[in-house]
Structures are given as C-alpha cells and as structure tokens.
Structure 1
Amino acid sequence: MAIATATALAAPLLMAAAPAGKAPSHRHGSHTAQDAAKLSRKLVREASAQDVLRHLKKFQSLADANDGNRAAGTPGHDASAAYVYNELKKAGYKVSYQTFQIAYIETLAETLRVTSPTPRDVDISALSYTKSTPVGGVTAALAAVPVDATTGCEAGDYAAGAFTGKIALIQRGGCTFAVKQQEAAAAGAVAAIIYNNTTGVISGTLGDPNAGVIPTGGITQADGQALAAEVAQGPVTVTAEIRQLQEQRNTRNVIAETKAGKADRTVMLGAHLDSVNAGPGINDNGSGSAGLLDVALDLAKTHDKPANKVRFAWWSAEELGLLGAEAYVAALTPEQKADVALYLNFDMIGSKNFAQFVYDGDDSDATGAGPGPDGSAQLEKGITGFLDRRGLPHEGTDFDGRSDYGPFIDAGIPSGGTFTGAEGIKTAAQAQKYGGQAGVAYDACYHSACDDLSNINKKALDVNVDIIADAVGTYAHDLRSIPQRPAAAGAARLAGTDTARTADGHTATS
C-alpha cells in the first residue's frame, strides 16, 4: 500500500464533535421523509450531463494548459483544485484546503524492445516507485520464472545462477509486485518484467518509495506468455528503459460543507480530482469530480437548509494510493469519525463502454473483500432502488480498495457509491444489458492521453449524476435507514489481503 507521510495538514473542515455525552440524533417521521423526497426530486431535476460537461470542459482546458494532465503535485491539479474551490466559495459553502505531502512520481521513460531473436517493441508500464535504469536502458537476456501458484514470490523460484545479470520475466500472482522484484534482485536480476495473469494492462505500484530495488515494469498477459514461450525455445535478449522522477511535493484536498445541518450526523460524498501524468483524466476522475461539483452547486441554489450537514470532498493523490482520503481520515478524532454518518464515492462515472456498477455493500455477490461496515448495505439499496424505479440495469462491484472509500471503510464508516468500469473487459451479457461493445474495455483510454472530452459516455454520466443528486437530497434530511454506530467503529476490512496499489491508487492482488 503506497502511503506517503501526511504532513503540513492545514485546518480542513474536519467537523466539530458532538457535545460530550450527546448521542447522534436525527429527526423522525413523515416530515423528514417529505423533506428528503422534495429535495431529491428538485436536485435530480436540476442535475444533467450537459451541466457536468461544462466543468469537464474546464478540467480539459486546465490540463491542456499544463502539460496535458492534472496529476497531484502539478500545476494542472493545483489549477483544478482552485477552480473547484472558487466555484464552491461563490455558491456560499464553507470551503477549505487540506494540504499534505506526497512522493511525486513522473515516468520519464518506459520502453521494452526485443533485440533478438525476433526484434520488436513491447508495450511496458513502469511500476510506481521503481528504480530507474540508466538513460538508454539496460540490455540483457531474459530469464523466465517457472509458473506456479506463487510465481516469483520465494527465493526457491529462482534457480541458482540462472538470473544473474539477466532480466527476470515473472507472472503476476501470489504476492505483491514489490516482493517479486525484491526476490528477483536477490537472485541477481538487473531488472524485472511482470506480466499479467488476466486480460488488460498492469498499471501498478511497488507500494512505497523505499521498496524499489531494481527497475520494474508491467506488460500484458499475451506479451508475457509470448516472451516466456520464446525463452523456452532459446536465448531472448531485450533492452528495457524504465526511468522515473521521484521527489517530495505538496498537494491539497478541497473540502466544502453546508453551513446548516447537524454536525453529528454529517453526510459525506467524495471524488478524486487528480489524474495520472499520462493524460487529462476526464473520465478518471474528472467525471466524478464534475458530477459532485454540479450537484453541490445545485444544492446551494435550492437554499434548502438540510437537517444533516452535507460535506463534499475532492481528493488529491488518489492515483498515488488514496493518499488524500487517507490524510483526511487520519486527521479525524474518534469522535469526528463517529459523526460521519456515511460516505459515498464516485469514481469514473462516464466510461465510454460503460457498465453500471454499484458497490456491493452487503456482499450479496459473495466475491472479494466482503461486506462494508454496518450501513453499507443500506447505501447500496438506496442506489439500486433509485435505479430500479427508473427501470435502469445495474450490478454489484466489490469493495476491492480501488478508490477513496478505502480509508472510510477502514474507519468503520458506512460506504458506497458507483463506478462505470475501468480497464476490465465488457462481457457479452453486459453488452446486451447496457449496450456498447463486448470484448472491449469499459474505458479503453484508462490512464492514457486519450482520456479526454471524447472519452465520455453522456448516458452513463447523466444516470450517475442523478444518483448523486438523489443521494444528496435523501440523506441531507433523512438518515433513518442508516444504523447508528458506536464511536469506536471500525477495524480495517482489507487487512490480511496481500495487495498492491495500481497507479491510480486502486488495489490489485499481485
């Protein structure tokens, strides 16, 4: 897990704790439900993809003016945060920045060329926190690690002398990327190439600035299997160039809250504002950020005084390991954590070849990490109920740690939200259900330069901004469906899984 030390925390809107001895409270009865229904209808009516696109166009222009990206620690992100801050300030919110320090990463080179016996280029992605090769790269023979359940995770996987001075070719699985490259280095390898054990690219991290010991990159399953087969037939020589700039920089979250509402029943929604260095990040995650901003501004225009405080967050450094959300949650006292009634997360809500995913709060799909904290099932039901009433298809997605709900779940805070797909491949059944193209990624421009304004599905965007609007309208007045919890809530749910963050802070068992 990539964790940068969170320092220089400014005074963010961390919320005042409820008075000592006072139990969290909320109104009951038909009046509460009527207020919620009225506000929900109003916000859903006002929300639209067209309004969200106005903010996305601004994010695109800010990326265009700043080296084509809005990555944490860059001028593009700083300008995006300032835009969101100023829009919210003008709307009358109480707004603050939360500044923290990150280990900034910028990939300078990531190339892999087979020089013999069959010369060709292979796409490779540098893993975050990797060691760098010299300019021009390193040229060496490939040595493939035998494939088993824990390929490359143990010293015994590397035959004595077989990897000295060579580049290790390792299949993903069984342990973290960091462990694989450490074991390869211990066996004498000068670099490591990790190939996927499923479809799609590897876009990952070694998890810590001090973890990298040899240059390490990721390639697809098909490319890795082809190279392994070639190595089995005879010597294969490659040149790998993997170089990264790594330095300490400051970045900041934007936090905004309503002036009205009970602080001891705070409703919280968030989206990460940063992109990767490779592109402007208009779907990932300009879409969630713009959708959240649009609903926040619509809420301000209603002049509604919510019964419960509503807090919106635009996180930085999600792409580096959920660092903004982690810095925020870490700064909360136990009492302040208990005051957060729920957290809803919106990440990539306009994927071009979308599927409509809702976080599986009750673990009814029985896959992955298990259910969210008590109350997460109700959040899932709230979203699926809204979609069902509109006759819109949906399906569950696991709490796999791939976005900013992670630190909230670890703190025992009920969590949920939506997602429309990243590098995963759409199935034939999903294509029939949602439209689009089977056998193609939900977002073919995931973490790429082409994640621009042309990479947005307006239908998906429209549906998901309505989901945000309904949730804000409902929970601003009515929290009766969310169980109250003790102040000492929450052991980390994801503990015990051997994981590695992908480049967008997403977690993937390596």
Structure 2
Amino acid sequence: MRKIVAATAAVVLSAGLVSASPAVAGGSKPEVDTKRLTQAVQVNGVLQHLRQLQTIANRNGGNRASGLPGYEASSDYVAKTLRAAGYRVRKQTFTFPFFAENSPATLVQRTPEEKTLETGVFTYSGSGTVTGPVVPTKDVVIPASPTPSSTSGCEAADFEPAPAEPSVALVQRGTCDFGLKASNAKAAGYDAVIIFNEGNPDRTELTTGTLGSPVDLPVVGLSYDDAVALVDDVRAGGATATVTTDTVTDLERETHNLIADWPRRTKHDDQVVVVGAHLDSVPEGPGINDNGTGVAGTLEIAKQLARTGYTKKLQRPVRFAFWGAEELGLLGSQHYVDSLSDGARSKIYANLNFDMLGSPNYVRLVYDGDGSSFGTAGPAGSGQIEKVFTDYFGRARLATDPTEFDGRSDYGPFIQYGIPAGGLFSGADDVKTERQASIYGGTAGEILDPNYHTPQDDITRVNTTVLGQLTDGAAHAVATLGLSKKGLYGDGARTKVRTNATAKKAPKVTEGPAAQR
C-alpha cells in the first residue's frame, strides 16, 4: 500500500468528515449460502502462501518489488497455484518508471547546531548531496491550522528567490501534489527540497510519498515537529543543512499484472467481478502484510472457489487479478483499466480490493462505499458492496469500522471510471484510537501496522486472528457477487451496473502513490 502518511485520492473528500460507530448488529439474511467456501478458506491455507512469499523475499534481496527478481518469483508462484486449480492465467505486461534507493537518504542540520534529522526519500527523487541554506516557502502555516490549509509550494510565487549558492527549499505538505512542489522549487533555482508534514491531526509524523515522475534534484521528507524547530532557527538568523540521496530510476523497466479467469461461460458473461490484490512489495522489505496477506487471501479464495465447486454455479465471471507496481502509484491496476475498450470496461460489474489483511494492531475496516461516514460515496453499487461486508460481520457479531473511500489502493482506478468497488483493510499508518482499542484490543496511540513499509514487515508480525476473519469476509463477498441472482441492486441480474458511454473519468490527482491532499 501507499507510502507513510501519503494518501491517494481518486475523488476529493468533503471537509466535514464524521466518525462512525462500529457495525456490530446482526446483518440481513444473505441471498447466497457461502458457508462452504468460508469454511474451506482456512488461515492455515493462507499462511502456506505467505510462507512461500516470505521465502521468495528471503532469496531475492529481502523484497518482492516490481521490476526486481522477487516480484518475478512471486508471480511465478501465484500463476502456478492458479493454473493447478484450473484457471486460465495470463500476464499483462507494461513498462513503468522503476525507482529504488541504493542507500538510505540522510538529512543533517549543520547550523546553528549540528544534528541528524529523521528523513526518508520521495519516490522518483534525484540523487546527490546538497549543502546550503534552508529557505522555507513564503506560505508555510506554523502553527498548523486544525484542518488542512497549507498551499505551500503549489505556485511559483510561493518561493523566495534562491540564493546564488546551493540551497535547500523547505516546503509544507498540502493541497497540491508533491511532484508540483518539487518542480516549482527546481524552477525557482533550488538544489534540493525538504517536504514536511502539515501538522494537522494525523499529519505530524515523517512524511514521504511519490513525486509521480522523476525530478532531477534530491527530495526528502521531514516531520512537522522537526520542521517547526528548523523554521524557528531560520527565522532566528538562518540555518543550513545537508541533504543526501542515492537513488536509481529506470524509466522503461518492465513488469506485469497477473489475470486469472475460470474457463467456463456464465449466465451473465457481461458482468465481470474483478477481485484484486497488489502483488508487489516496497523495495525496503518483504511486504508480507502489505500486501502478501491480500495476495495470499485472494489466492486461497480462488483455489477453494474451484475446489468446492462454486465455480460451477457462478452467475457472472469472477476474475482474479494480482497487480504490479502498486507501490509506485497504482500503476498496474491503472494500466489494466485504462487499456480496456469502453465496451470491455462497461462489463466490469464490480471491483473487490484486498490490501493488508493482517495488521498487528488491527482494526476491521470496511470501505465507506455509501459515503455515510466520510461524506463521499463511491460509484453506484459501492454502497451495496459495503453492505455485503457489514452484513456478514454483523451476523458474525464482529465489529467493523468504516474507512475512507479515498482511492488509496488499487480500487482507485476503477472508481475513476464509475465502476462500483469495495473491500477490506486492517490498517496501515493510521493511529489506533482509545475507542478502537476498547473494541478490538491492541494499543491505543500506536499505528495499526508499526512495520509498514519496513524490513520488519515479515511473516512473524502478521496477526492471524484478523487475517482469518477478513479472509472469510472476503470469501463471502466474492461468492455473493459471483453467485447472486438478484445482483447488486436486487432487481434482477440482467440490470447493468453502469454504461461507460455516459460515465466520465474523474480527474486524476497524483501525490503519494496516486494522490495527496
């Protein structure tokens, strides 16, 4: 999933977000009996796949990132398993701008006092070492406002003229994408950029993300508190710093998606349910929770869907997709949806997305498809998908919380085209609240996955309790959408979800892996 505190927004959320109580009441009686599938999808089977992915990472430099050998080995394992279960599997190859660090970025404040500051590189940052005065933009918001309001670096006029010597621009997160901030700094004559977190609630820690495309200067992140101290030093008489990055970018690296279909026609072949999980990790680690858990859960569902005979009863096709290059900006799923003809795209009935299902400090999260909790609904049908999940967990007497339907994972490209979507999530870099700790256990005040995007995201840190619960919920939803005779709207499976001839693609915003506001 996306970088630390970097959000993706395929849709713009309203400012007035509300907190919803968890769903705990019993849900309505399901149309489809999915019990045989949910019983067949066992945690042990999911863990067998996870152990294979961990072994693959161990043998390939500690990661499974797109464009590197660990991804190819992961893809081979998934494809072999699917073919053995009876699926037709194909690779959808595409090129992408590959990015990796040769060594970690560093940020050292030199004056008025020397100290090393915690930092991280932005994806597609240039490589180099720059030492010089730190110059904040004219419009940094310190102290931060209660809600996001910074426009720092979004316009050329935000920057003071760069000194004649090498210099470092200090830019605040907010409003526009990171790449625009970095490009504006370069155009203003700066030699390196520090982007610090905005300082509003949940926007205080070290921030990193993606620039969207290569920028030829070092770009690193900083926490809000460290930036405040740095700005204070600048205003008190000046400060200098050294920014160092060591990166490699290959604009034409090749990778692929894996697409698996069951070789049998259904009653409604023009209503395809696409079930997706991203197969790649970040280069920094093995990516076993992010997103080995989604891959392993989806793979086991596909395997057991065939073994239990549910594939013989499908009302509509269920297509399993394993996306490449998600960590670099949802590139694989975006390529898949963009490459379809209008007619083929209109036949996608729904997208289910499973990205991180075993977070150590978990919350059971369901995407807010109807917009009732966060103010923005997904395309028509997304609310019904949300209800499939909440009804299931309600009947199981398991609490759930809503999570923002903001496009931060591979469902984002689908909702851009008006395709209904939904999914489950156990949490990444959000902080667990006291209320959530009282319901789900775990530790309030800590992020939901402390190992997120680190070398420690390995199989020893996966929470098997939530992994089993969410995988069962995912299996229930796959079977329900695939076997339902009524369809999402309850008015007959012949009803089309939408026609893309009239759907408009939402404007794409990129900051973080796909967007940041």
TM-score by length of 2: 0.86
- The answer (yes or no) to whether the contact 2:272–2:316 under 8 Å persists in 1 is yes
Aligned with residue 120 of structure 1, among 110, 115, 120? 115
Aligned with residue 488 of structure 1, among 500, 506, 510? 500
1:426 alignment counterpart: 432
Q: Identify unmatched segments of 5+ residues in structure 1.
A: 3-32
**1:475-509 CA distance string (max 9 Å, x none):** 2210524142343266456527xx4342xx35321
Structure 2 Cα separation of the partners of residues 195 and 466 of structure 1: 40
Q: SS of the residue aligned with 2:44? A: helix
Structure 2 Cα separation of the partners of residues 358 and 246 of structure 1: 35
Is structure 2 residue 42 aligned with structure 1 residue 48? yes
2:213 alignment counterpart: 208
Structure 1 Cα separation of the partners of residues 321 and 463 of structure 2: 24
1:245 alignment counterpart: 248
Question: Which sits farther off after the overlay, 159-168 or 466-475?
Answer: 159-168
Within a 5 Å distance, the mapping from 1:399-414 to structure 2 comes to 399-414=405-420
1:232 alignment counterpart: 235
Structure 2 Cα separation of the partners of residues 487 and 401 of structure 1: 21
Within a 5 Å distance, the mapping from 1:107-506 to structure 2 comes to 107-109=101-103, 110-133=105-128, 137-146=129-138, 147-148=140-141, 149-161=150-162, 165-197=166-198, 198-209=203-214, 212-247=215-250, 248-260=252-264, 261=266, 262-304=268-310, 305=312, 306-367=314-375, 370-483=376-489, 484-488=496-500, 491=503, 494-495=506-507, 499-502=509-512, 505-506=513-514
1:67 alignment counterpart: 61
Which amino acid letter does the alignment assign opposite residue 133 of structure 2? A
Structure 1 Cα separation of the partners of residues 485 and 213 of structure 2: 39
- The answer (yes or no) to whether the contact 1:204–1:500 under 8 Å persists in 2 is no
Q: Which has the higher contact order (CA 8 A, sep 6+)?
A: 2
Structure 2 Cα separation of the partners of residues 359 and 493 of structure 1: 21
- The answer (yes or no) to whether the contact 2:112–2:239 under 8 Å persists in 1 is yes
Shift of 1:463: 1.0
- Judging changes above 3 Å, is the alpha-carbon distance between structure 1 residues 169 and 43 closer, same or farther for their aligned structure 2 residues? same
Shift of 1:48: 2.3
**1:145-189 CA distance string (max 9 Å, x none):** 241431222233223355863111111112221222222223322
Shift of 1:438: 1.1
Question: Which sits farther off after the overlay, 108-117 or 377-386?
Answer: 108-117
Shift of 1:437: 0.8
Shift of 1:226: 2.2
Q: SS of the residue aligned with 2:254? A: strand
Q: SS of the residue aligned with 2:319? A: strand
Percent identity between the two aligned chains? 40
- Judging changes above 3 Å, is the alpha-carbon distance between structure 1 residues 164 and 444 closer, same or farther for their aligned structure 2 residues? same
Structure 1 Cα separation of the partners of residues 175 and 480 of structure 2: 43
Structure 2 Cα separation of the partners of residues 325 and 222 of structure 1: 36
Structure 2 Cα separation of the partners of residues 192 and 122 of structure 1: 14
Structure 2 Cα separation of the partners of residues 328 and 450 of structure 1: 31
**1:217-276 CA distance string (max 9 Å, x none):** 112222222222222223322211112211121111111112232421222210000000
Q: Identify unmatched segments of 5+ residues in structure 2.
A: 3-28, 142-149, 490-495
Structure 1 Cα separation of the partners of residues 170 and 337 of structure 2: 39
Q: SS of the residue aligned with 1:105? A: strand
Q: SS of the residue aligned with 2:317? A: strand
- Judging changes above 3 Å, is the alpha-carbon distance between structure 1 residues 421 and 224 closer, same or farther for their aligned structure 2 residues? same
Which amino acid letter does the alignment assign opposite residue 279 of structure 1? G
Structure 1 Cα separation of the partners of residues 297 and 358 of structure 2: 10
Which amino acid letter does the alignment assign opposite residue 137 of structure 2? V
- Judging changes above 3 Å, is the alpha-carbon distance between structure 1 residues 238 and 55 closer, same or farther for their aligned structure 2 residues? same
Shift of 1:422: 1.0
Q: SS of the residue aligned with 1:500? A: coil
Q: SS of the residue aligned with 1:324? A: helix
Which amino acid letter does the alignment assign opposite residue 487 of structure 1? T
1:96 alignment counterpart: 90
Structure 1 Cα separation of the partners of residues 410 and 258 of structure 2: 14
Which amino acid letter does the alignment assign opposite residue 244 of structure 1? T
**1:121-143 CA distance string (max 9 Å, x none):** 2222211122221xxx2211212
- The number of residue pairs the alignment matches comes to 465
Cα RMSD, aligned residues only: 2.0
Structure 1 Cα separation of the partners of residues 361 and 379 of structure 2: 31
Q: SS of the residue aligned with 2:92? A: strand
TM-score by length of 1: 0.87
- Judging changes above 3 Å, is the alpha-carbon distance between structure 1 residues 490 and 50 closer, same or farther for their aligned structure 2 residues? farther
Which amino acid letter does the alignment assign opposite residue 43 of structure 1? L
1:83 alignment counterpart: 77
Structure 2 Cα separation of the partners of residues 234 and 191 of structure 1: 21
1:25 alignment counterpart: none
- The answer (yes or no) to whether the contact 1:412–1:489 under 8 Å persists in 2 is no
Question: Which sits farther off after the overlay, 413-422 or 162-171?
Answer: 162-171
